[in-house]
Amino acid sequence: MARQGGGRFVRILALSFGVITGTALQGVQPEPWPLSALGGAALLLLFGAWADGRWAPRPRQALWVWALASLLAAAGVSWRSQQQLAGALATAMEGQVVWLEGCVDSLPQGQPPGWRLELEVTHWRALPNQTLSGPRPTRVLLTGGYDPESEGSAPAAGECWGFAARLKAPHGNRNPHGFDAELWL
């Protein structure tokens, strides 16, 4: 019975090691590893475990399982980072002014200088003499000014609007409950 609990601990440790290693590698790589390369490495590990498992003692087989679990966890982290990067604004588009159409997806936050809202983008359109290249996020955070004296000038949740917006990748607002460095600057 104690052996089963120890096996679970080793599996959890292997998965944790893979997640931590995968996360650390994503921070130093210029771009995530392709999933095909990670799948090929997993197949090599499986083949090695099968070939070695025919003659090796049981403790050595656990090393193969540990390595495979770590690789699969690192592949999961790589897949998740690729999904996040696919929805990020392309660096070539930063600073461009584009026409966005979409529906307000959250309650706008009104403050004295203006408002801030999340827009679920349904259509992107380039302005004259511009081209849109690279991935385009489906959700954007927009800020803008409005006159609090005029009635109805601020967007409301659920309304569909069109905006000419200058694109900028987020930097200081990635921690939703922490200090907003960009707002402070």
Give 125-170 pLDDT, tens digit per residue. 887 777 777 777 888 888 877 665 666 566 778 888 888 888 887 7
User: Could you tell me the two tokens for 96?
Assistant: 């461009």
User: Are 143 and 104 within one domain?
Assistant: yes
Q: Among 22-31, 65-74, 134-143, 154-163, whose mean pLDDT is lowest?
A: 22-31
User: Are 95 and 53 within one domain?
Assistant: no
- What angle is formed at CA 119 by the lines to CA 118 and CA 124, rounded to 5 degrees? 145
Structure confidence at residue 2 as a pLDDT band (50, 70, 90): very low
* Residue 70 scores a pLDDT above 50: yes
User: Are 65 and 112 within one domain?
Assistant: no
What integer pLDDT is reported at residue 172 of this predicted model? 58
Mean pLDDT value across residues 63-89: 78
Structure confidence at residue 53 as a pLDDT band (50, 70, 90): low
User: Are 95 and 81 within one domain?
Assistant: no
39, 58, 86: which is the final residue of a domain?
Answer: 86
Structure confidence at residue 1 as a pLDDT band (50, 70, 90): very low
- Nearest CA to 138 out of 83, 97, 80 is that of 83
What integer pLDDT is reported at residue 165 of this predicted model? 85
- How many Å apart are CA 13 and CA 66, to the nearest integer? 9
34, 58, 86: which is the final residue of a domain?
Answer: 86
User: Are 103 and 39 within one domain?
Assistant: no
Domain around 96: 91-184
- How many Å apart are CA 6 and CA 87, to the nearest integer? 40
| Total count of domains within the chain | 2
User: Are 69 and 27 within one domain?
Assistant: yes
Question: At residue 50, what is the residue type?
Answer: W
User: Are 52 and 24 within one domain?
Assistant: yes
User: Are 68 and 107 within one domain?
Assistant: no
Beta bridge partners of 117: 142
Mean pLDDT value across residues 42-58: 69
In the chain, % of residues over pLDDT 90: 1
User: Are 125 and 81 within one domain?
Assistant: no
User: Are 168 and 107 within one domain?
Assistant: yes
86, 115, 137: which is the final residue of a domain?
Answer: 86
Mean pLDDT value across residues 45-60: 68
Mean pLDDT value across residues 8-20: 75
User: Are 150 and 100 within one domain?
Assistant: yes
User: Are 77 and 129 within one domain?
Assistant: no
